[in-house]
Structure 1
Amino acid sequence: MIRKIKINLFAPLLFLSYPVFAQSQEALQCQMENFQSASPIRVTQSELGIQLDWHGSDSQQLRLLIAVEAGEPVIKSLQLQAGDDQWTTLLTDSRFEYKIVEGLRRISNQQLNPLRELAVEFSDEVIERHKWDAFWDAPLDLRQQEFRGNPPPMDGVASQPGLPRSVSEVRRADISYNVKSCRVVADGARVELIFPDVSLGSFTGEFILALYEGSNLIRTEVLADTQLPSVAYKYDVGITGLDVQVAGSVSWRDTGGLMQRYQLNGPVNADQVVLQAANRLVVAETNGGAIAAFPPPHTFFWAREVEINVGNNWYRKDSNNSFSIGIRQGEQEVVERYMANWSLYSAPPGSMQQMVGYFYPTLGDRGDAFDAVMEFTNSDVYQPLDGYQVMGSHYHTNMGRELIASGSIDTRLRDFEVIKSAGINIAGPVDRPREETQLQEQHWLFEGALRHSDKDFMVLPEMENSNLLGGHWDLLFSHPVYYVDERAAGTPLITEHPEYGRMYNIGSVQDMMTMVEAENMIIYMPHPRTKGSTGYPDAVAESPQFLHDNYRGAGWRWGMGLDLSEKRLSDYRVIPLLDDMNNWIADTDLPLKSLIAITETYFKSPGDDIYANGPVTYLRLNELPIGNDYSSIINTLKAGEYFVSTGEVLIPNHSLSGSGSEALLTAQVQWTFPLDFVEVVYGDGSVTNSVVVSATDQLPFSSHRFGIPFDASGQRWVRFAAWDSAGNGAMTMPVRIP
């Protein structure tokens, strides 16, 4: 059980609530909440609708007029102004389009196999608990043949139906509005317009429009739940009614990074025209300005085996006078052997799903829109930070095997060029050597790592294993070490190999942990509580291997499965595990467990969307090591001197001071998207508590030093985290409370 205490360190808002009337086709009643005279976004009402005025980016002013017609929110006008110039009307009579596709969530064989090994009975309760974290599920895959990979059981399990899937399982729908009232809510430097009585397929809830002082950013959201069991889904978002006639055009960058433009001279489109747009971004030019459409950079993407761009943007010419743009998710994976891996979002009954899209209007042309939006993700590059190295981990490049197949140890794998281009300067390829070529693959991995490393980029060898220790576990090396996964009776633990020199013969947990300790290796479980680690590390929480100092913790990666009711990435699976692990060992003198950011994808090529599909670890390390001595990286990880991040939120430094009821955690935070909240999380060995501090008063693209008091009496450990309004965030590793 997590008990949360919410406080706001900023000046309190006045809680005012009174009705306001705006006339459209219906007499719309809007209730104003939390407004005061100092609210930065001005809201007025008239017979035309609700008007919002605010300061945007680069000294631009924005004015949005919203009305409700036939129960549907309509942008009657969106205007922009620079200084004292004339207002430019970018949009007139535009609407927000949402589409949904729903399927049936199933648990996969990959999750069931470790549960079988743990002798877990497959009751409906067990299936219900674990199915929402499925990775190998593809609810829209209606093929009739047997599936590759680790799909759900062909014959079903408990009450879960088997395969193939039925056409009747798939439902498609457009959004339906039946709005009769609204709320306008001020929250710090943002305002939300909330329209109830919205339905989207089996989901019912609200449509929310959010605006942010200091930014042109507009956030749309359907916040809704379903009461149906086993729902998996995807959604598309768009804005319609863009003017073709006044210089209307659509622009995007292709996967090679080149700018493309379509001037809408062709015929009307019946369907969305899918764009494999780089950076998940499409821009429309119209009426003397531009507007961009893009998704949240990380929460929009469930985990996959690859990062190939499947086309997450679209446009549609609706008539000779108007067109639309938006964001989307595809229907299936594009690599044949991974077709059974397209899991969609998970929607447990009653969970409030946040189906979000972003739009960014601006004066100027498409270049201005592209430049403004790309600032939110630093052009899809993890930002460098003084005193830190940026580490990516658990890349399935099969480095040793690929180099052997190429015939040359000097072959250059382009996977690492792609990783490096994203701003990562420590890359961890996680190989899984075959028994018959295990030593050879290890050798080529170590030698290949040397050849792909440079003074500003290092390849850190890793191995993924699924034997001995329970679940899957990654082995991170501090220097090259050779070992085989067998030890015949009478064979010493360490022998001499004629080609590779000293070699370990591993036949037991004790053998493995002896090697790990002697060679300064560390262990993380890459995808805990799902995939091949379903039921783990819980099942080995009291084992000698898990309690060993060098078993450092688990991998942080969202999307296995992805539940959009989460406020934090992997809010229901990995983050609670971090706190659980440290409560398990709170009363010992063992070093606290931690998380490492992982990606869990295979081969990479230029144009792949590396940034969207994985977090990184910011290691407090001034310089990269040289050669094949990686010990400074390993020692930094062991010390917990790092934070994990999606890239948009950074925590350059933090500290703990005071004690007891006067404890204070101080943290410097910087961010791009509007910040949502920061938190101090702490535990006493049984209960996890948190102090959640609203940060909605903060402007985008800013930084702040937060000082958060909390009562550390009886508490054993503490950590800090910061999360923005797009679901991005960063977390420090736990430290013991003296």
Structure 2
Amino acid sequence: MRTCRRASTALASLFFLFTCTRATVLRADPIAADISAVKQGPIEVSATKSALTIRWTDASSQQWSAVFALDDKLPLITSIAVGGSNVVEKATPVYRCSTGTRTGGWDAFFDFPPARPQGTRNFIQSFHPTAATVRTVGDRVEVSFNGMEMGIFSGTMRYIFYPGSALIQQVAVLETNEPSIAYTYDAGLQMASEADRRPGINMASTIVYYDAEGKLQSITSPYGSERHTLQVHYRAVAAKMGVGSIVALPSPHRYLFARDYSTNMGYAWYSSWRGKVGLGIQQPLDDNTSIYPWMNAPPGTKQEMGIFFLLGSGSANQTLDKALSYTNKDFFPHIDGYVTFAPHWHFAFTEQAVGTGTTWVPPFKPGLESIGVDSAMIMDFHIDGHPADLTGLRMRELDDYYKACRQQSDNKFLLIPAEEADVILGGHWSLTFPKPVYWLMDRKANESFATPDPKYGTVYRVHTPEDMWKLVQVEHGYAYQTHPRTKGSTGYPDKILNTAYFRDPQYFGTGWKAMPSDLSSPRLGERGFRTVDDVNNLGLHKVMLGEVDMFQISKTDELYGHMNVNYVRIPKLPDFDHYKVLLDAVARGDSFISTGEVLMPQSKISSAGGDSIHVEIETTSTFPLRIAEVVWGDGKSTHTEQFELDTTHEFEKRAFQWNVNAPAWRWARVAVWDIAGGGAFSNPVWREEQK
């Protein structure tokens, strides 16, 4: 009996332990939802103890709903449905990142963060929310969950819903307090897809994308748990899900940090395994070079690690094609009265043209034409050719260069020859002449500055900054500082601000490019803006020229994501003998710069009396807009007044007017940025030039 009592006690204890354990497993970890900041509008929000529901309509008046589980033990997204039928169900956000150490300052490009002795740290998300906060922002709704951690980063997971759109933005808003952090991140969504299960633990998920050559592919997922890397055109991948489909896509330009090359390394991924499908975006950790700078995470800044999902009630092909409309299918739209101009390419064009013959069409020409570029300014002899040669070889190469550019120019495409000279004046700088000019980058003591030549006309030899600038003035050339304050122009133009040549109007300005990357900013290219603003506060009149600064390209490259263009206000594309018309307009700043998704065909900045600035602009945009900003300087400091554009919608044409109080303003410019970080912005105008 005694033994039996012990056995009974043991069994009772085991039963009690099992019951408690089971209760622990089944007990919910509730997420408290606060919807007090939600206002009445086109997006409805409701909450119960177990679910948070968002309801809205898209541009086709289809009714959508997204249900979030308020239980940490369940998948975050219970469902996303159209017309009451699920497209997505039981979905969980997916994030991981790699971190390294930034050296050389936040503007450094010649950097490879994993190369430090401490190497690279890799982290996967740990997401355990206890609270959800919902608020209305304009006519949009933001849903934020706390408890998002990823190694040294911590913060919130945010979902943003836009009225009249089936586009949902997922953003991990994270910060770190560690110094000198550079990072990359991957993001996505893992969804239940029981309908894709097949016998033998197989899946038959339909994955759709455009391959690197632009051909539509529809594949069935192979067996395996791993993530599959895809080299896709347009940076987007789609899947058939539920009664519809979903597309994963990054911000077109914000996600891809600056590189010297646009090779397509595979920026999309998918997975399909045991009833779950994942779609997402990724950043390869290196490109087999020592120059691969990653993105900046200054301490305390809120890094917006985002991804977009476009939902659709149709096929994966249909929803994918709709997603491509956000970048005009990677095309810079034509605007009457403007020419699209993309400078700063290192194609080693002349060597190839001479080696292949007159019938050769360089691959960059159809590549640039296919994305809407009317004119390109290339810069040969950067690491190719013999720019330092002081014999006839240099002259022959220049002659071949000019002839080859003329041959590739026609009434639809203009190829302008330039050089990134990198000698004499300081830093890296671009030199362009309005006609063929033959010059040598040094001269001996007994040689003249200019000598007649029976074949080339006049041959110039320069040795000093005075020589160099005399050549620019005599031949009506133009110069600008390429990639200011970074790369080979680190410290420039700051070191030459007081020189006569930099202050000359023919040294018309500085380059702008989305470099470096910092996802805490709503805009791109902070370095370029700071440079031109600082220079203009000194009383100089300098403008920006959007530049690309990349090497050879092919039809399979991921080109558009690294691009910006200058929309130059001239009536038509000039021919090769008259491209000075384009250069003159660029030097005047008679242009705006765009990433393609936002256009600003009309802008006017004028004095509104006293110290007020009056701004009028017209925009067209694909993504909803985020902010506009009027930036102005008083000769000492740069000031910004920001305007929230959180009631704008996708695929809109809008007109805006603002009056800004700007005491003692001397110059001003205006910019507009969308929710994906793309934008358009004017060049500065000066107060004394306003009537």
**TM value normalised by structure 2:** 0.91
Equivalent of 2:286, from 320, 323, 332? 332
Show the counterpart of 1:80. 82
Q: Deviations over 1:181-204 (max 9, x none)?
A: 121111112111111221112101
Show the counterpart of 1:137. 111
Show the counterpart of 1:161. none
Worse overlay, 492-501 or 630-639? 492-501
Q: CA deviation at 1:72?
A: 7.2
Show the counterpart of 1:531. 487
Structure 2 gaps of 5+ residues are 1-25, 197-203
1:576 equivalent to 2:530? Answer: yes
Return the letter of the residue paired with 2:419: M
Report SS of the residue matched to 2:657. Answer: strand
Show the counterpart of 1:442. 398
Show the counterpart of 1:64. 66
Pairwise mapping of residues 500-515 of structure 1 onto structure 2 (< 5 A)? 500-515=456-471
Return the letter of the residue paired with 1:716: R
Q: CA deviation at 1:613?
A: 0.7
How many angstroms apart in 1 are the aligned matches of 2:144 and 2:265?
32
How many angstroms apart in 2 are the aligned matches of 1:706 and 1:661?
20
How many angstroms apart in 1 are the aligned matches of 2:188 and 2:255?
15
Structure with the bigger RCO (C-alpha within 8 Å, sep 6+) is 1
Q: Deviations over 1:668-694 (max 9, x none)?
A: 111111100111111111111122111
Q: CA deviation at 1:731?
A: 0.9
Show the counterpart of 2:86. 89
How many angstroms apart in 2 are the aligned matches of 1:504 and 1:410?
32
1:496 equivalent to 2:499? Answer: no
Q: Deviations over 1:15-68 (max 9, x none)?
A: xxxxxxxx993333222354333x211101123311001111322221000123
1:414 equivalent to 2:360? Answer: no
How many angstroms apart in 1 are the aligned matches of 2:378 and 2:415?
7
Check whether the contact 1:410–1:451 (CA below 8 A) recurs between aligned residues: no
How many angstroms apart in 1 are the aligned matches of 2:337 and 2:318?
32
Q: CA deviation at 1:261?
A: 1.8
Report SS of the residue matched to 1:424. Answer: coil
Q: CA deviation at 1:607?
A: 1.4
How many angstroms apart in 2 are the aligned matches of 1:724 and 1:293?
18
Return the letter of the residue paired with 1:578: V
Equivalent of 2:267, from 312, 317, 328? 312
Equivalent of 1:259, from 207, 216, 226? 216
How many angstroms apart in 2 are the aligned matches of 1:357 and 1:637?
35
1:344 equivalent to 2:290? Answer: no
Report SS of the residue matched to 1:368. Answer: helix
Pairwise mapping of residues 108-257 of structure 1 onto structure 2 (< 5 A)? 130=105, 132-140=106-114, 165-166=116-117, 168-243=118-193, 245-246=195-196, 248-257=205-214
1:359 equivalent to 2:318? Answer: no
Equivalent of 2:236, from 248, 260, 281? 281
How many angstroms apart in 2 are the aligned matches of 1:556 and 1:438?
30
- Identity across aligned pairs (percent)? 30
Q: Deviations over 1:384-429 (max 9, x none)?
A: 11111111110111222322333x3443211122111111011111
Report SS of the residue matched to 1:558. Answer: coil
Equivalent of 2:355, from 405, 420, 436? 405
Report SS of the residue matched to 1:529. Answer: coil
Check whether the contact 1:392–1:597 (CA below 8 A) recurs between aligned residues: yes
Show the counterpart of 1:710. 660
Q: Deviations over 1:346-387 (max 9, x none)?
A: 212222211111111111001211121111000001111111
Equivalent of 1:301, from 256, 263, 269? 256
How many angstroms apart in 2 are the aligned matches of 1:689 and 1:273?
47
Show the counterpart of 1:291. 246
How many angstroms apart in 1 are the aligned matches of 2:517 and 2:406?
36
How many angstroms apart in 2 are the aligned matches of 1:673 and 1:536?
35
Report SS of the residue matched to 2:90. Answer: coil
Show the counterpart of 2:434. 478
Cα gap change, 1:574 to 1:300, in 2 (>3 Å): same
Equivalent of 2:102, from 95, 100, 105? 105
How many angstroms apart in 2 are the aligned matches of 1:240 and 1:730?
34
Report SS of the residue matched to 2:323. Answer: helix
Return the letter of the residue paired with 2:263: I
Show the counterpart of 2:3. none
Return the letter of the residue paired with 2:220: Q
Show the counterpart of 1:593. 542
How many angstroms apart in 2 are the aligned matches of 1:483 and 1:516?
11
How many angstroms apart in 2 are the aligned matches of 1:369 and 1:440?
53
Return the letter of the residue paired with 1:187: V
Q: Deviations over 1:85-123 (max 9, x none)?
A: xx321111111110111122233xxxxxxxxxxxxxxxx
1:603 equivalent to 2:552? Answer: yes
Q: CA deviation at 1:449?
A: 0.9
Report SS of the residue matched to 2:629. Answer: strand
Return the letter of the residue paired with 2:54: L
How many angstroms apart in 1 are the aligned matches of 2:113 and 2:361?
38
Return the letter of the residue paired with 1:599: V
Report SS of the residue matched to 1:721. Answer: strand
Q: Deviations over 1:445-468 (max 9, x none)?
A: 211111111101100111101111
Cα gap change, 1:484 to 1:378, in 2 (>3 Å): same
Check whether the contact 1:660–1:712 (CA below 8 A) recurs between aligned residues: no
Worse overlay, 471-480 or 511-520? 511-520
Worse overlay, 238-247 or 179-188? 238-247
Q: CA deviation at 1:178?
A: 2.4
Check whether the contact 1:211–1:217 (CA below 8 A) recurs between aligned residues: yes
**TM value normalised by structure 1:** 0.85
Structure 1 gaps of 5+ residues are 1-22, 82-86, 108-129, 142-164
1:35 equivalent to 2:35? Answer: no
Show the counterpart of 1:155. none
Report SS of the residue matched to 2:511. Answer: strand
Cα gap change, 1:95 to 1:396, in 2 (>3 Å): same
Pairwise mapping of residues 565-714 of structure 1 onto structure 2 (< 5 A)? 565-571=520-526, 573-585=527-539, 592-657=541-606, 658-714=608-664
Report SS of the residue matched to 1:69. Answer: coil
Check whether the contact 1:232–1:347 (CA below 8 A) recurs between aligned residues: yes
Show the counterpart of 1:50. 52
Return the letter of the residue paired with 1:274: T
Q: Structure 1: which 4+ aligned runs deviate by more than 6 Å? A: none
Check whether the contact 2:671–2:681 (CA below 8 A) recurs between aligned residues: yes
Cα gap change, 1:683 to 1:33, in 2 (>3 Å): farther
Show the counterpart of 1:389. 339
Q: CA deviation at 1:441?
A: 2.1
Check whether the contact 2:206–2:239 (CA below 8 A) recurs between aligned residues: yes
How many angstroms apart in 1 are the aligned matches of 2:176 and 2:523?
21
Return the letter of the residue paired with 2:255: F
Task: Let me know the Cα RMSD of the aligned residues.
Answer: 1.8
| Structure exhibiting the larger radius of gyration computed from Cα positions | 2
